[in-house]
């Protein structure tokens, strides 16, 4: 899917109140290139795309935030979700996308906001964000919150609970997921998973782990597990992430990590010896 550069280019000019010639001079490309793009006679090179979108973002034109707001306003009865992709999605959306050791195994993962999706893939140079309309009618879902059940589900799917796979608690979690079309649950990035590993390895209790994870506050995700679920996804637009925008999100993520680390330390201390250790839970 190509970017909507024709419409974006006109929007950028209108918001900055500049002519095609002014934009070309400011961006460092020929004016005729701007004309051809706006007339839909030419699709620009990756270098030209970067120049245009990077210039706009540095000028304060946050197109992707604007598009998120507009899509949500235009679709009040639908869910608008966001998929951060390292590369372009090829073909139809598949539920068999990704590693089996992700939070809930292989699946198509989406976040609730543009910022959330952009932050997760901001370090990849060719990354982009897909804005998607989701029709959840006639679908079965499993919902999780930040609690013991969710922590065990993540640990199981990431392959660290193989010794307990026959335990009734683990079996109940597997049953909860195996017959649903999608999962709605908190996100667990690698930093959060390191906290879960401390719980699985018996260093902290479930209460310590739960409050440490809640402190990171990464938001919720949709994980689509069946073809029936992915057939309900309608890609509205693929949105460009310029270098300036990706750098912005990387800075936000680093600040959130530092803030979250301090909250985790506090939770470790405050809830020490409260709750149960993994050996007590799965005895």
Whether the Cβ atoms of residue 35 and residue 20 lie closer than 8 Å to each other: yes
Q: Which tens digit of pLDDT belongs to each residue from 262-275?
A: 777 787 888 888 88
Q: What is the pLDDT of residue 269?
A: 83
Cα gap 75→58, rounded to integer Å: 29
Which of helix, strand or coil describes residue 176? helix
Query: Which residues, 6 or more positions from 262, have their beta carbon under 8 angstroms from its beta carbon?
Result: none
Superfamily the domain 1-61 falls into: lambda repressor-like DNA-binding domains (1.10.260.40)
Least trusted range by pLDDT, from 43-47, 69-73, 140-144, 201-205: 201-205
Q: Is-contact 86 99, C-beta < 8 A?
A: no
Q: What is the reported pLDDT for 55? A: 95
Show the tokens assigned to 274. Answer: 């409260």
Dig out the tokens for 84 from the structure.
């951060």
Nearest to 3 by CA among 241, 259, 282: 241
For the chain, the structural domain boundaries read 1-61, 77-281
Q: Inform me whether the pLDDT recorded for 189 exceeds 80.
A: no
Q: What does the pLDDT look like over 198-234, one tens digit per residue?
A: 888 888 888 888 888 777 767 899 999 999 999 999 9
Tell me the average pLDDT across 46-71. 95
Closest CA to 277 of 215, 212, 216, 209: 209
Burial of 159 (0-12, 13-18, 19+ CB in 10 A): exposed
Distance CA 155, CA 259 (A): 24
- Give the mean pLDDT of the chain: 89
């Amino acid at each position: 899917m190509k970017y909507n550069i024709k419409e974006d280019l006109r929007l950028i000019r209108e918001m900055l109140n500049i002519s095609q010639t002014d934009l070309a001079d400011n961006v460092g490309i020929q004016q005729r290139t701007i004309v051809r793009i706006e007339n839909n006679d030419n699709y620009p090179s990756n270098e030209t795309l970067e120049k245009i979108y990077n210039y706009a973002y540095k000028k304060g034109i946050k197109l992707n935030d604007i598009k998120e707001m507009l899509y949500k306003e235009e679709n009040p009865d639908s869910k608008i979700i966001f998929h951060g992709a390292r590369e372009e999605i090829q073909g139809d959306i598949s539920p068999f996308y990704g590693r089996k050791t992700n939070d809930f195994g292989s699946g198509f993962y989406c976040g609730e906001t543009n910022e959330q999706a952009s932050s997760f893939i901001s370090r990849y140079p060719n990354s982009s964000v897909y804005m998607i309309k989701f029709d959840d009618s006639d679908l079965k879902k499993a919902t999780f919150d930040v609690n013991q059940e969710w922590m065990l589900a993540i640990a199981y799917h990431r392959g660290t609970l193989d010794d307990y796979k026959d335990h009734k608690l683990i079996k109940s979690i597997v049953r909860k997921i195996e017959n649903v079309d999608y999962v709605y649950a908190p996100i667990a990035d690698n930093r959060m998973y390191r906290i879960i590993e401390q719980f699985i390895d018996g260093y902290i209790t479930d209460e310590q782990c739960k409050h440490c994870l809640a402190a990171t506050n990464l938001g919720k995700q949709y994980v689509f597990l069946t073809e029936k679920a992915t057939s309900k996804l309608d890609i509205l637009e693929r949105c460009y992430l310029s270098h300036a925008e990706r750098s912005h999100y990387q800075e936000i993520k680093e600040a959130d990590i530092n803030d979250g680390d301090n909250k985790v330390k506090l939770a470790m201390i405050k809830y020490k010896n409260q709750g149960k250790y993994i050996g007590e839970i799965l005895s």
